[in-house]
Amino acid sequence: MSAANSSVPADQHGGWMSFLKAIASFSGDLSKLTAPSFILSPVSLTDWGEHPEHFASIQAAATPEQRMVVVLRWFIATLKGQYTSRNTSMGSEKKPLNPVLGELFYGSWPATDKRGETKLIVEQVSHHPPITAYHLENKDAGVSVEGHSGQKTSFTGRSITVVQVGHAILRIKRDEGDEVYLISLPKLSIDGLLLGSPYIELTGSTSITASTGLTATINYSGRGYFSGKAHSFNASITSNKSKESLLDVSGTWSGSSVVKAGSLLPLNSVFWDADAIPREELSVKPIEEQGEYESRRVWRNVAEGIRKGDYGAASKDKSRIENEQRQLRKDEAAAGTKHQLKHFEYVESDSDYASLAPAISGLAPTSASYRFKSAAA
């Protein structure tokens, strides 16, 4: 590991090498492996809501084709915040904290003269395996998205591969009936481990398919060992009936992309520029006003330790939280009780998923889901 290129603190190099040896020899899902505090991010639950203006604007598009364009653009716009924000703010990719069962996150983007308020609710609905459910909604615009994401993580010799298990359902309320969009989730490759400067690349492909008979397919590629450009993608919108390509775009999801072909947008026009439109921070209650299981309150001492570089204090409080959770699960088992979800309910078979999944190659025909049940926060 080159000290010049590494983002690992000098006094933590030994711990980093020990962690690499541990993941190389670990059998099974790496999410079960405890990570040292110096590679942790001071956040746990994440979301898709950093561009509420574009999210709300989905409703205003006049035709199904135009609405699919806006949905695709919004989805691409969410990727930078989800997958490179830790790299940007902390110098390299950091492992998010493992949310505890029942952990909650509430936030909102206040109304402006152009849009109504957008609200976000996130809940950790399972710990083993780790699954996060989320609901994002702008009621004034009649647009919402809900879904869940779990992870299956493995080490491939040079990188960590993360298969995101789950899907999202985006819904647009229309006078003629709701439009529904099924969104599949990308695979992640965490590279740069041997240099001590981890970063995320998206791999494979994902799709967005709509009840209107349109599908957007996104193919990801990135910086390889010898060549390639980081965070590259190309995407197309097609009709499910004719398979005719209505739009082709390409570029980088963390930077800019342009229109390469199709009739829906001008040729060579900018499709999305992540650097030109800053992420809009959400509004969250002060920690002292948050409930016991709200995310920033649960992890405040751990987060403070990580930000200050006091990894001993961070590890100590992280262990306290984990031990309390283990005891709580033991107490529930002894009492014959089960953790009750607050905002979501488990659904064995998701009917929206089942109706749209056949349009996406490789998806299972049916899937369980977590359905949003309450707007109370």
Residue ranges of domains in the chain, CATH in brackets: 10-200 (1.10.287.2720)
- Cα separation, 55 vs 145, whole angstroms: 10
pLDDT of residue 193: 72
* Position 204, amino acid: G
Q: Diameter of the chain by CA atoms?
A: 64
Which residues does 235 contact at the CB level (< 8 Å), separation at least 6?
72, 76, 216, 217, 218, 219, 247, 248, 249, 250
pTM of the complete model:
0.89
Residue 132, SS3 per DSSP? strand
- Cα separation, 215 vs 241, whole angstroms: 10
Burial grade of 358 (CB within 10 A; 0-12, 13-18, 19 or more): exposed
The H or E element spanning position 352 is: helix 351-356
- Cα separation, 13 vs 234, whole angstroms: 38
Q: Read out DSSP for 144-208?
A: EEEEEEEEEEEE-SSSEEEEEEEEEEEEE--TT--EEEEEE--EEEEE-TTTT--EEEEESEEEE
- Cα separation, 340 vs 67, whole angstroms: 37
Closest among 175, 114, 163, 122 to 140, alpha carbons compared: 114
Are 104 and 122 a contacting pair, CB within 8 Å? Answer: yes
How much of the chain exceeds pLDDT 90, in percent?
60
Q: State pLDDT tens for residues 39-72.
A: 667 777 666 777 899 999 999 999 999 999 999 9
pLDDT band for 376, please (50, 70, 90 cuts).
very low
Residue 125, SS3 per DSSP? strand
Closest among 244, 183, 248, 170 to 209, alpha carbons compared: 183
Q: Read out DSSP for 199-242?
A: EEEEESEEEEEETTSEEEEEEEE---SSS--TTEEEEEEEETTT
Rg (CA), the chain: 21
Alpha carbon of residue 327 to chain centroid:
29
User: Is the CA virtual torsion 345, 349, 355, 360 positive or negative?
Assistant: positive
Q: State pLDDT tens for residues 190-223.
A: 887 766 677 889 999 999 999 999 999 999 998 7
pLDDT at 90 over 50: no
Are 221 and 232 a contacting pair, CB within 8 Å? Answer: yes
More confident residue, 25 or 254: 254
- Cα separation, 96 vs 82, whole angstroms: 11
* Position 345, amino acid: E
